[in-house]
Amino acid sequence: MSILSVSGLAISFGSNQVLRSVNFELNESEILGVIGPNGAGKTVMLDILTGMMKPSAGKVVFLGEDITHKTVNERCRLGLGRTFQIPRPFEKLTAYENVMVGGIYGDHLSEREAAHKATDILEFIGLREKAGVFAGKLGLLERKRLEIGVALASNPKVLLFDEVAGGLTESEVAEILEIVIKLKAGGISIVWIEHVLKTMVEGTDRVMCLAEGRDLICGLPTEVMASKEVAEVYLGADEDE
């Protein structure tokens, strides 16, 4: 059953049409990977889905409701959460306090409720031992984990990941994959933009390739990765090859 539906999504910046017509559906407890060359509009798409940007055309339906014109806060309260390519924690707050903020402002929890939830989330994302460390002192993997934790604190039904594995070592990517698999098992659906192809093959149910402002192809990960379309626009192969 579809939990998120996107149809005809388009946006332009002056004469530059970044998205022309993007269409996809995300099912319950599904992980949809999104790949594509730099400049394909992947992050812009997430910005539109979360309400940070307004599309020039198209519709976003979440839980059966048209949210195309709803605010960031309204979408968050409905159950849309996201991470950013470059982690954005409150660096002078501890990891524990960062997650608490997510619960208080994202899910309207009391401080007591948010504190309890923060403890559980830090355990889930593997940061319990770093609870009292200022976010600005955390390493990249820890900051990526914290991004997920803060997003989780708002009680999302759908998470939008923007290169949450970017910049990590192979073993660290495996740790992120473990968290993603647990999220899916818990019933959370995910749209996951990533350049680390290992995550797209091993951690998704379907993969969509975004190129030239359109959803070029969408299907099973191995089939999409082996497709002529991806070879041409994402991996840089010539049409004659």
Compute the average pLDDT of residues 101-125. 95
Looking at the fold, whether 186 and 211 belong to one and the same domain comes out as yes
Q: Of 155, 182, 212, which marks where a domain is finished?
A: 155
Range of the domain at 110: 88-155
Looking at the fold, whether 72 and 177 belong to one and the same domain comes out as yes
Compute the average pLDDT of residues 18-38. 95
77 closest CA partner among 146, 184, 156, 148: 156
Instruction: Kindly report, residue by residue over 179-212, the tens digit of the pLDDT.
Output: 999 999 999 999 999 989 899 999 999 999 999 8
Looking at the fold, whether 69 and 185 belong to one and the same domain comes out as yes
Compute how many other C-beta atoms are within 10 angstroms of the C-beta atom of residue 192: 23
Looking at the fold, whether 54 and 162 belong to one and the same domain comes out as yes
Q: Of 155, 182, 204, which marks where a domain is finished?
A: 155
Classify the phi-psi angles of 8: left when phi > 0, otherwise alpha if psi is within -120 to 50, otherwise beta.
Answer: left
Domains identified in the chain, total number: 2
Task: Enter the pTM of the model.
Answer: 0.92
Looking at the fold, whether 70 and 1 belong to one and the same domain comes out as yes
Looking at the fold, whether 95 and 148 belong to one and the same domain comes out as yes
Query: Cα(220)–Cα(225) distance, rounded to whole angstroms?
Result: 9
| Lookup: tokens for 190 | 């995910």
**What is the rounded radius of gyration, in angstroms, for the C-alpha atoms of the chain?**
18
Looking at the fold, whether 24 and 72 belong to one and the same domain comes out as yes
Looking at the fold, whether 148 and 192 belong to one and the same domain comes out as no
